[in-house]
């Protein structure tokens, strides 16, 4: 595996590979580093489906709010490199902030509507930063396919819509969330949790499991489901709910009608999405049904 910090050099290397492999495809896994088995699963999938696998590690300041954890976001470049190598990455792109933003960025890529709820409502400007940096990375790497974890389901929906709206020549591949044995979704932010918070954090995935059971009730409505999930999460004393939402997926709209069961003629998919704080650490999780 080769590591690049320069856009020009990375592009040169990918360009050479393309010339030598005119039928080959490039798979791309953009990350913010501090890689865990969830990221490794994306890299392995990219590796299996493409001739060249590129991973980026870049903690993007543009997608953090002024009171968020940009400065203290966990970083471990050496371990990241070894996770990438072990998972089968060919090229690692790890630029400095000044390489990605050499001057004040006055251009932004905005995805409206999809971003005014869930994490977009809790973190104003977050998805503008995501859309902008992902479109920059797509232009730098020019992949055939890009791999994103469904733990950030709204991010996947936003990037799919941006790609479609802007005719980006990239296939977006959503990949399943990887979990700890007890169900907790892997996240770089899990390292912030104390032992007691870590124990109670399992309430997110358990609540989603219960939501799956409740959804089989034929007359269940979205607000009733939401209420039951909130009550379930509140049984964890350290849990402070940021949001619990039941929406259509990938459009992220309130579901039509009163009931969610498959018999109500909606046919589409439903996402149950949670954001819960434990102390200063905000965890998200979701499940998509139907």
Residues carrying an active site annotation:
39
Closest CB 23 distance from a second copy, rounded Å: 9
Per the DSSP assignment, residues forming a β-bridge with 274 are: 244, 285
Closest CB 204 distance from a second copy, rounded Å: 29
- The H-assigned helical ranges of 123-250 are 126-141, 153-165, 195-200, 203-214, 222-233
Closer residue to a second copy, CB minimum distance, 223 or 253: 253
Closest CB 111 distance from a second copy, rounded Å: 5
Binding residue ranges: 32-39, 63, 149-152, 155, 178, 186-189
> Do you find a cis peptide bond into 73, omega within 30 degrees of 0?
no
Cβ neighbours of residue 105 under 8 Å, at least 6 residues apart? 62, 132
Closer residue to a second copy, CB minimum distance, 111 or 274: 111
Length of the chain: 290
Give the Cα separation of 110 and 105 in Å (integer): 14
What are residue 8's phi and psi, to 5 degrees?
Answer: -60, -45
Cα 20 off chain centre by: 33
Closer residue to a second copy, CB minimum distance, 22 or 237: 22
Closest CB 17 distance from a second copy, rounded Å: 13
Closer residue to a second copy, CB minimum distance, 141 or 244: 141
What are residue 182's phi and psi, to 5 degrees?
Answer: -85, 0
Radius of gyration of the chain (CA): 20
Give the Cα separation of 46 and 88 in Å (integer): 9
Closest CB 108 distance from a second copy, rounded Å: 5
Binding residue ranges for ATP: 32-39, 149-152, 178, 186-189
In this structure, the number of other CB atoms found within 10 A of the CB of residue 63 comes to 21
In this structure, the number of other CB atoms found within 10 A of the CB of residue 135 comes to 19
Residue numbers of the site for a second copy (CB under 8 A)? 7, 11, 19, 22, 105-114, 131-132, 135-136, 139-140, 142, 161-162, 165-169
Binding residue ranges for (R)-pantoate: 63, 155
Closer residue to a second copy, CB minimum distance, 28 or 278: 28
**Which of 254, 257, 253, 247 minimizes the C-alpha distance to 290?**
247
């Amino acid at each position: 595996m080769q590591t690049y910090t320069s856009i020009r050099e990375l592009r040169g290397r990918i360009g050479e590979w393309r010339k030598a492999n005119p039928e080959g495809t490039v798979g791309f896994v953009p990350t913010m580093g501090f890689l865990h088995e969830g990221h490794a699963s994306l890299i392995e999938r990219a590796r299996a489906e493409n001739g060249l696998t590129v991973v980026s590690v870049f903690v993007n300041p543009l997608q953090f709010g002024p009171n968020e954890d940009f400065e203290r976001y966990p970083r471990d470049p050496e371990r990241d490199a070894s996770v990438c190598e072990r998972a089968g990455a060919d090229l690692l792109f790890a630029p400095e902030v000044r390489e990605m933003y050499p001057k004040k960025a006055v251009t932004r890529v905005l995805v409206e509507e999809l971003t005014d709820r869930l994490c977009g409502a809790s973190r104003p400007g977050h998805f503008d930063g995501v859309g902008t940096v992902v479109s920059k990375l797509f232009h730098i790497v020019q992949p055939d396919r890009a791999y994103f974890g469904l733990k950030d389901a709204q991010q996947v929906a936003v990037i799919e819509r941006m790609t479609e709206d802007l005719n980006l020549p990239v296939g977006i591949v959503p990949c399943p969330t990887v979990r700890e044995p007890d169900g907790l979704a892997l996240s770089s932010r899990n390292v912030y949790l104390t032992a007691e918070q870590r124990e109670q954090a399992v309430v997110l995935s358990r609540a989603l499991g219960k939501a799956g059971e409740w959804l089989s009730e034929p007359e269940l409505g979205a607000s009733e489901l939401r209420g039951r999930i909130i009550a379930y999460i509140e049984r964890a004393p350290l849990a402070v709910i940021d949001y619990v939402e039941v929406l259509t997926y990938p459009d992220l709209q309130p579901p039509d009608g009163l009931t969610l069961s498959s018999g109500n003629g909606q046919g589409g998919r439903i996402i149950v999405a949670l954001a819960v704080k434990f102390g200063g650490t905000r965890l998200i999780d979701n499940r998509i049904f139907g």
